[in-house]
Amino acid sequence: MKNFAHRGFSGKYPENTMLAFQKAYEVGVDGIELDVQLTKDGELVIIHDESVDRTTDGTGYVRDYTLTELRNLDASYLYIGKTEKNLIPTFREYCEWVKDKDLITNIELKTGVFEYLGIEKQVLDLLQEYHLEEKVIISSFNHFSILRMKEMAPQLKYGLLSETWFIDAGAYVKSLDVACYHPIFRNLTPEVVKELKSHNIEINTFTVNTREDVLDLYEKGIDSVIGNFPDMVREVLEREV
Ligand code: G3P
Ligand code: CA
C-alpha cells in the first residue's frame, strides 16, 4: 500500500508549504498530495482553502490576490512561534523541487467552488515542461474538471474525488474511463471495495490519520492512503503488516 503525504507532512508542519513537502520527502513517502488554485493574475499556487484566512496572516480569497501580494503572506499562520515564515508555494516552484525526486504527486485541482477556467491547461503545461506526466495523479471533486484535462491529455492518470456514498462507484469511474477513485476512507465498506475492484479501479483514500485505519485499509487491499502523518503510516506498514 502506498503512503501519500496529505498537503505534505501537514500533521507536523504548515500544510502545502515547501517545508511540509521536504519533510514528507525525508520520511520516505511514495507520494505527496497538494492543492492548486489560481491567483488574480493567473499564477498557479499551492493552497487548500479558497480563502487565505485559515492558513495565513491575510484575509480574503486567493483569486483576489496577485502572486506578489500572496507571497507577502505567511503560510505558517497555524504554527506561529513554531516555524519560520513560509510562503505559499507556486506550482512551478514545486515542479522544480520534485522533478528529480522519486515521488508521485497527487495534484488536486481545487475547482469545486471557483472553476478557475483554464487551470487544467496551465497545470498540464507545467507538467510537460518539467517532464512530470508519468509521475502524477490528477484528482478533483469537480469531475468536469477531470474530464476537461483528460481530453487534453488522455495519457495522464486521473482520480475522481468523492465524499458521498455513490451506488456502483466503480461502474461510474469506469464509465468515464478514469483509472482511480479517491473516496473519503469511511465510505470504503467491503461491498464498496469489492465493486470497485471488480472494475479494476485503483483506490487512493483520504484522510487516514490513525494506525487502526491504516491497518484496516491495508487488509481491505486499498492501493494508497493519503494522510497527515506519513511517519506513522510508514512505521505501521514496516512493522505491523
Ligand atoms: O485528495 C484528498 C483530499 O485532500 C481531499 O480533500 O479537502 O483535504 O482537499 P481535501
Ligand atoms: Ca486536497
Taking only the tens of pLDDT, the chain with its 241 residues reads 999 999 999 999 999 999 999 999 999 999 999 999 999 999 999 999 999 999 999 999 999 999 999 999 999 999 988 999 999 999 999 999 999 999 999 999 999 999 999 999 999 999 999 999 999 999 999 999 999 999 999 999 999 999 999 999 999 999 999 999 999 999 999 999 999 999 999 999 999 999 999 999 999 999 999 999 999 999 999 998 9
DSSP secondary structure letter of residue 88: P
Question: Which residues are marked as active site?
Answer: 6, 48
pLDDT, residue 160, reads: 98
8, 16 in Cβ contact below 8 A?
yes
Query: Could you tell me the three cell numbers for 104?
Result: 508521485
Asked whether 110 lines ligand 1 (CB < 6 A), one says no
pLDDT, residue 147, reads: 98
Asked whether 48 lines ligand 1 (CB < 6 A), one says yes
Nearest ligand 1 atom to alpha carbon 33 = 1
Q: Residue with C-alpha cell 515542461?
A: 129
pLDDT, residue 213, reads: 98
Expressed in angstroms and rounded, the spacing between residue 221 Cα and the centre of ligand 1 is: 21
Residue 21 neighbours by CB under 8 Å, 6+ apart: 5, 8, 9, 32, 34, 89, 94, 97, 98
Residue 135 neighbours by CB under 8 Å, 6+ apart: 98, 103, 104, 105
Stretch (H or E) spanning 37: strand 31-38
pLDDT, residue 176, reads: 98
pLDDT, residue 80, reads: 87
DSSP β-ladder status, 224-227 and 202-206: parallel
What distance in Å separates the CA atoms of residue 39 and residue 19, rounded to the nearest whole number? 21
